[in-house]
Structure 1
């Protein structure tokens, strides 16, 4: 029997197969288009919520794009403070399984800076309590390794200061609940937490680079001179913007401890000092303004102490008859007092009021001290305040006054906010423009020929005035305690910045050639700061330029210096 194998006919011709492939391709394209359309719609919806949905009725979806507290940045965008998600370590005593004494021993190994008794108290309590807020990752891991279910590790918003101690007194700090306490954090707490504004960083006038220079140079001086502290500020003379502000000793706002409480005081805005001879240019400027001083050549008798109201005004060195440039170059209390006596009580008091020495310093911070103002403006007060005794102000008061003295005569409030494109305040005239021009010459002479020689930064045309004031104490002034200050501006042919450096109670040691006065202690700080920070601020050394003091040079006798 034969088997017949029949080959089936081909059902799918080449044309049919091509039609099937074409149909499949069309279906695939339709699926891809539908997928792309869905993706596009979802993306548009998400973008809409991110940019435009600010209502509170949609849950926390849009809030996720806004930080809990705004960042703080310097004028160039460098972060100075920001909020991050951090860990805390908490104990719930009712859930603890291990012996409390054993747990306290283990915690002390992890946190040696905390007394064991404190841990025992927390572990034995009745309510949940924090072992450590702002815990480091290795600390969290170590506590977790103890293996007790009574510990938990909640995630919390944490304020971080990435530059550590840099500008600590400017920034301030927040409390455990995230509210600003001091500094910018306290002054701008609403701006930093308001949902409408916290999405944008708060930009300060501070330049982190310049801030670092001022801090390092002042710290070196305070350390080497064995001083108890210091203060410094750099101010734009035309806008009032603060480029740097430092107070020593300082602290780390990332880790606050009780022992740091005294160091948290901002010496620039909250501490009061009799700033001594730095007041003399202000007083003489007022006398020139008023027409009491009409000639730079007129001489004043400083050959003997000046007796007034049972008090004797003295110079720190033997004197003679001084003209006006010599009065400042030799830093004569006696000659300055005689000029102030001619100016009179009303006009001397009016000068200090126009410079706001009778008010708290003008700046955004809450930490601002009210000056010590003379109870009675008699003849003696008029003469002594002229050279910085009997009146106490903050270093920021002095910085704003010197800005007005050199910028053409306009006083403006200081600010810690970057102005950017905004116009500075119009200012209030306190000196004539011609007086300001004359004072620029005299301040420059003090540095080239007087007590401020060690502030002379080559090519930067620094001008300024030393001030070495004994600190008041019980029963009078303490000769062993001096506040040494140098108030400066640069470049004096076209002033742009004021620099104040103050060293509190420097010791006369080998670092200062045995001297405690400002010419040897504070003036060198200004020189170093200007040489390092000047180019960052757009001021470059140019030894071919300077203030024209040719008409004053013949009036100056070079027979020694005073303080």
Structure 2
């Protein structure tokens, strides 16, 4: 009986109970499976790689401030954008400031192709040397500088190259808006922004630690005039260099100072030492006849010499193998006033010997000629003084030879001679007008009064007529000194100078000009002395700076002015209403 009605199929049961036999897979299906598996693994690896790259980009651009080192960010979070204080002139004009810049460095381990990277870098930064850049990028180091202090344009050009392994670091660079105008005074900084010269070095700690601007005594307006006129003199007389100064005799402030040749403080590297040399403060020279200012003041202050005294200047003085003579011998006895007026070497020697060698040495020491000046510049020259101080030294020092000092020494000391006798320490920092000005009496008011009159006499009747500036009552003293090279003086190599002051009835300012090795011209009739070279330059400067300083021109022949500045050539002060020419010189 069939069981089909019960749903049982014996044939189907047999097939159902038999073991299943699978068909063999083709090689194509196997290959497809393997390919799918590989694609999945590759996709996973690529996904992980791009995830890592994305994380790095987020960290670099958002979390770490453009891949700058963490220590830089930490410093910026607690400090101003730039750390070195500004330097400004007395009126607030900017002389030095710091700006944030980007410096380029590299990690050679990350650079893919050093040759290609070096080639591209040199293409946008042509000042770089290809071999030097390549050697850095191919090195085993992890950090090398490529270029410091890039400009924004340079930074953008490097950034567009898209080279891996190159990074920018934020730094600061010093900028000098006045460029060469006050280069020897301001100085410059190094690549790491540390002061290397001038006030940048002298006030390095102050500029680093105090963010308030350093205000100087300099006035950029006067600085421009001074440099313009001194530069013109250097060019006209084909000189090798020069120095100039404007000085406040009542405060000791240096209002302007130049030394030529000068330089660009942005790039002082590779310059010769003569260019970097500050002739106004570091250079020490035999000052020649301008030193007769101090010999005359010393002689009068000693009490052994009176303005009316006569000294024999008719013949040269011989000492050993040396002969001391006058440029223009008057062949007669001269009063103190005439000795100063005609710049007599012979008369100056006799005055010094009358005062005495110990008196001369003590006076020169009191005037600051035995030590560097107190000016804030690190470039401060040491005077060269004789030791021992013998008679021959006293004689040559009386007319400005045998002792070497800087122009800064000369100006600061001369200020005390005409300002009433008070020595104010020279400074390049603006003094508080409400504070007490430091000073020391080095000369009596009476001697100072006589010296003011002698200053004026040199311009009206003496060797410095070219310094006259109508209305400003200029006085001063010329100087011409042969230069010593080795152990000998060189003919036609001289320092021509003029130390002038104005207004002499109430002295306020000194104008000093020194021209190094001027050459005579047809215009000066073959002369290259201080009276022909430096005095006219100072006169032109006075005419221009007088109005800026608020000095009102006066009638130089008015009774009040004449009473304050006149002196007779016999050494007496004329009575009010008389003229200086009314008293004849004394006879022997």
What is the TM-score with the length of structure 2 in the denominator?
Answer: 0.78
Deviation at residue 309 of structure 1 after TM alignment: 3.3
Question: Of residues 315, 327, 331 in structure 2, which corresponds to 1:320?
Answer: 331
Q: Secondary structure of the equivalent of 2:275?
A: helix
**Structure 2 counterpart of 1:551:** 568
Deviation at residue 223 of structure 1 after TM alignment: 2.3
Aligned CA distance change for structure 1 residues 550 and 330 (closer, same or farther; 3 Å): closer
Taking the aligned partners of 1:306 and 1:148, their CA distance within structure 2 comes to: 81
Deviation at residue 400 of structure 1 after TM alignment: 0.6
User: Which sits farther off after the overlay, 309-318 or 275-284?
Assistant: 309-318
Deviation at residue 509 of structure 1 after TM alignment: 2.8
Q: Secondary structure of the equivalent of 1:277?
A: helix
Mapping for residues 225-304 of structure 1, pairs under 5 Å = 225-296=237-308, 298-304=309-315
**Structure 2 counterpart of 1:355:** 367
1:430 matched to 2:445? The reply is no
Taking the aligned partners of 1:556 and 1:126, their CA distance within structure 2 comes to: 90
Residue correspondences, number? 496
Deviation at residue 202 of structure 1 after TM alignment: 1.2
- Answer whether contact 1:369 1:394 (CA < 8 A) is retained: yes
Per-residue Cα deviation, 1:282-323 (whole angstroms, up to 9, x for no partner)? 111111112222243x33222221112332112223332222
Aligned CA distance change for structure 1 residues 462 and 105 (closer, same or farther; 3 Å): farther
Aligned CA distance change for structure 1 residues 166 and 342 (closer, same or farther; 3 Å): same
Aligned CA distance change for structure 1 residues 121 and 502 (closer, same or farther; 3 Å): farther
Aligned CA distance change for structure 1 residues 104 and 291 (closer, same or farther; 3 Å): farther
Mapping for residues 70-109 of structure 1, pairs under 5 Å = 70-97=85-112, 100=115, 103=118, 107=122
1:516 matched to 2:543? The reply is no
Deviation at residue 483 of structure 1 after TM alignment: 0.9
Mapping for residues 433-448 of structure 1, pairs under 5 Å = 433-448=445-460
Larger Rg: 2
- Answer whether contact 2:349 2:399 (CA < 8 A) is retained: yes
Aligned CA distance change for structure 1 residues 441 and 550 (closer, same or farther; 3 Å): closer
- In structure 1, runs of 5+ residues without a counterpart are 1-58, 559-563
Deviation at residue 462 of structure 1 after TM alignment: 1.0
1:390 matched to 2:402? The reply is yes
User: Which sits farther off after the overlay, 120-129 or 178-187?
Assistant: 120-129
Taking the aligned partners of 1:555 and 1:275, their CA distance within structure 2 comes to: 34
**Structure 2 counterpart of 1:203:** 215
**Structure 2 counterpart of 1:370:** 382
- Answer whether contact 1:251 1:260 (CA < 8 A) is retained: no
Aligned CA distance change for structure 1 residues 363 and 145 (closer, same or farther; 3 Å): same
- Answer whether contact 1:107 1:143 (CA < 8 A) is retained: no
Deviation at residue 511 of structure 1 after TM alignment: 6.0
Per-residue Cα deviation, 1:5-61 (whole angstroms, up to 9, x for no partner)? xxxxxxxxxxxxxxxxxxxxxxxxxxxxxxxxxxxxxxxxxxxxxxxxxxxxxx768
**Structure 1 counterpart of 2:188:** 173
1:463 matched to 2:490? The reply is no
Question: Of residues 520, 525, 538 in structure 1, which corresponds to 2:550?
Answer: 538
**Structure 1 counterpart of 2:499:** 487
Taking the aligned partners of 2:315 and 2:275, their CA distance within structure 1 comes to: 43
Taking the aligned partners of 2:290 and 2:378, their CA distance within structure 1 comes to: 26
- Answer whether contact 2:511 2:538 (CA < 8 A) is retained: yes
Q: Secondary structure of the equivalent of 1:365?
A: coil
**Structure 1 counterpart of 2:429:** 417
1:137 matched to 2:171? The reply is no
Aligned CA distance change for structure 1 residues 486 and 93 (closer, same or farther; 3 Å): farther
Deviation at residue 124 of structure 1 after TM alignment: 4.9
Runs of 4+ in structure 1 over 6 Å off:
59-62, 555-558
Q: CA RMSD in A?
A: 2.6
1:305 matched to 2:316? The reply is yes
Mapping for residues 327-346 of structure 1, pairs under 5 Å = 327-346=339-358
Deviation at residue 389 of structure 1 after TM alignment: 0.2
